[in-house]
Amino acid sequence: MKTHRAAVEVRDFRHTLDGTVGFVPTMGALHDGHLFLVEESRRACEHTLVSIYVNPTQFNNPNDLTNYPDTLDNDLEVLKNAGVAAVFLPTYEVLYPDDFAYEVDEKVFSRELCGAHRAGHFTGVLTVVMKLLNLIRPDQAYFGEKDYQQLKLVRGMAEAFFLQTEIVGCPTMREPDGLAMSSRNLNLSRGDRQLAPVFNELLQCEDDDEEVVARLAESGFTVDYVRTIEGRRFGAVLMGNEDSPVRLIDNVSIG
């Protein structure tokens, strides 16, 4: 498995590859949900590349960025065993030589749900994904449905800018108790980890959105939002102390 840190390195490596290329962008602290994306890419494509980069431009809370889990050595070993062709490990200076002077912005859906509570979040997401897709030029790029709003926005961006990459959505991977797999789960205290599955349970219940918000609050969650759009219920909650809360998101299809 190759590792590249410079933009020119990963671009040159991409030019050496014959056949289809799949790409999985990540922020590290890999779990089985990430590995499922890698498996889907390897199943469909002849070569799979993965990026690991904790993108500061999408964090509206500095403490969230500081506390984001870092398991790089383990991540690289896991990806090597998974048969990944190369890993891209850029720095801010590599991806933002313009110091974020140029950005990609979506003006409608990015202002809803998570975007309504995290100013500038999706501008950072879309900008870094555009940069990564332009560098790697994959045939397919894989994103999990846990971040369904992100998936929809990235897919819309690819269509709007006529990108050649197909954006592939993959089902949410869950723990045995129903909690959506997330790197941020590593930051949950023991007590919060025991409570966290209630989030998914209540999203799936037959109550209306307002009742779900009330039941989540009664259970001990700080609720950002619960909202149903086109047959899918989206939710975001905070757990832990006020200074460094752990933010969990999830969504479920409801009848």
Q: Catalytic positions, please?
A: 34
What is the spatial distance between Cα 151 and Cα 74, in angstroms, rounded to a whole number? 26
Q: What are the angstrom distances between the C-alpha of 184 and each of 14, 110, 194, 196, 244? A: 31, 22, 15, 12, 12
What is the spatial distance between Cα 54 and Cα 71, in angstroms, rounded to a whole number? 12
The tokens describing 135, both together, are: 């560098």
The tokens describing 128, both together, are: 């870094």
The tokens describing 109, both together, are: 């859906």
Q: Which residue has the tokens 């050496």?
A: 16
